[in-house]
Structure 1
Amino acid sequence: MDSHEVRRQWADRSGEYSPEYYAYYGPDETSETIRAIFEAHLDRDARVLELGCSSGRHLAHLYDHGFENLAGIEINAEAFETMDDAYPDLAAEGTFYCDAIEDVLTEFPDDRFDAIFSVETLQHIHPDADWVFAELARITSSLLVTVENEGDEGDDADVNYVHDDFPLYYRDWHRVFTELGFEQVDAQAGDRDTIRVFRAPDAPTGH
């Protein structure tokens, strides 16, 4: 499976793990954790981008708590129809890009966003598109948060096919982003995902 096929699968996704699926469950503990991280490091007018925002449940939680300069990238066009119904205020006020992450990031200028976050999205980037991570470093001026499945300790597999369907690529996100000059300032291991908080080079240490 190449990177084009991976993107096609997510663009056409319905049922389990689709935008409607996540909208049904709404904001969750991960949403609350991301909000707490941003409240500790950012002002409410920070420019925030979510990668793979789906129908917007995490962004909606941020919006409801005073973060209004919000943007998202999502490849599945149906996500935005679901967002209009589930989170109409976010849909009206946010800036959204219906496209593949790989096709959007190169269009942004350096330091375009104060903070970027990803919830179980970067783990689906095909190895052919590893260059995306340097682009994320380039456009992030302050904070980068990853909430990703990094595999079990000692797991030699680089990829796992979920339900024999779509691929999940395991990476050491600490290594990926510290090698790009970021400093890891926090890490929390959960049952499935690891939350990592990275500070960009020369970023302020408080707000």
Structure 2
Amino acid sequence: MYSDDVRDEWADRSGEYSPAYYAYRGPDETSESVRAVLAEHLPSDAAVMELGCGPGRHLAHLHEAGFSNLSGLDVNDESFDVLAEEYPQLDEVGEFTCDTIESAVPGFADDRFDAVYSVETLQHIHPDEAWVFAEIARVAGEIVVTVENEGDGDPSDENASGDSTTEEDADDPPDDDPEVNYVREDIPLYYRDWASVFGDLGCEQLRAESRGRDTMRVFRTP
């Protein structure tokens, strides 16, 4: 699957894994874990960006906890209609952008945000677009938080988008590409060692915590 195909899958997603699907699920334990990490390292007025924010369920939890300078980025424009309906107070104060990570992040200034985080989003970035991880580190002034499936969880756990693990790609990836699984046969999930990805960019890992199928990592940027 090409990088454009990956983006198109998310931009046009409806039904399962759509913005309405995630809004229905609402904030969860991951929302609280992200809040706790941000509260530990940053004041409540810190500029925070979520990549792949969907309908804003994690950002809504941050807002309810007192964070006031919140931004979200998502490729699916339906996300922001759902956000406005489900979380109107967040919609009033937040800054939201409908775009791809690869297109939007390079346009942000250095250290534009105090924190950038993702929840089961960076794992869908195509290997051809891996350059964007350096851009994420560049715009994050203090910390980067990743909550991603690294492929080492219990096979009985749900996969990154909430279903049982699917079959691996039939073709072996090149040695320099991450292993890939497919969610419902159409959404690629790339397993990466995020400690190495951001460590190689000069970031210091402050915490690593297994969360079922996901691993949460906290990095201090250079």
> Which of the five TM-score ranges fits, normalised by the shorter chain?
over 0.9
> For residue 121 of structure 2, what is the aligned residue in structure 1?
121
The one-character-per-residue Cα deviations of 1:53-89 (angstroms, maximum 9, x if unpaired) are: 0000000000001101000100001111100110011
TM-score normalised over the length of structure 2: 0.88
Task: Output the CA distance in 2 between the equivalents of 1:19 and 1:177.
Answer: 28
For the residue of structure 1 that corresponds to 2:37, the secondary structure is helix
> For residue 67 of structure 1, what is the aligned residue in structure 2?
67
Counterparts of residues 24-103 of structure 1 (less than 5 Å)? 24-103=24-103
Task: Output the CA distance in 2 between the equivalents of 1:185 and 1:152.
Answer: 20
Q: 1:200, CA displacement in angstroms?
A: 1.2
User: Structure 2: any 5+ residue segments left out of the alignment?
Assistant: 154-167, 173-177
Q: 1:172, CA displacement in angstroms?
A: 0.5
2:215 is equivalent to residue 194 of structure 1: yes
Task: Output the CA distance in 2 between the equivalents of 1:33 and 1:144.
Answer: 14
Aligned residue type for 2:196: R
**What is the number of residues matched between the two proteins?**
200
> For residue 167 of structure 1, what is the aligned residue in structure 2?
188
Q: 1:152, CA displacement in angstroms?
A: 2.2
Task: Output the CA distance in 1 between the equivalents of 2:113 and 2:195.
Answer: 20
Task: Output the CA distance in 2 between the equivalents of 1:37 and 1:114.
Answer: 13
Aligned residue type for 1:69: N
**RMSD of equivalent CA atoms:** 1.3
Counterparts of residues 2-41 of structure 1 (less than 5 Å)? 2-41=2-41
Percent identity between the two aligned chains: 61
> For residue 205 of structure 1, what is the aligned residue in structure 2?
none
2:200 is equivalent to residue 179 of structure 1: yes
Q: 1:181, CA displacement in angstroms?
A: 0.5
The one-character-per-residue Cα deviations of 1:150-185 (angstroms, maximum 9, x if unpaired) are: 0027x9971001121210011100000011010000
Q: 1:191, CA displacement in angstroms?
A: 1.3
Q: 1:24, CA displacement in angstroms?
A: 0.3
2:109 is equivalent to residue 109 of structure 1: yes
For the residue of structure 2 that corresponds to 1:110, the secondary structure is coil
Aligned residue type for 2:183: V
Task: Output the CA distance in 1 between the equivalents of 2:184 and 2:56.
Answer: 24
For the residue of structure 2 that corresponds to 1:152, the secondary structure is coil
Task: Output the CA distance in 1 between the equivalents of 2:145 and 2:152.
Answer: 20
Q: 1:188, CA displacement in angstroms?
A: 0.5
Q: 1:125, CA displacement in angstroms?
A: 0.3
For the residue of structure 2 that corresponds to 1:45, the secondary structure is coil
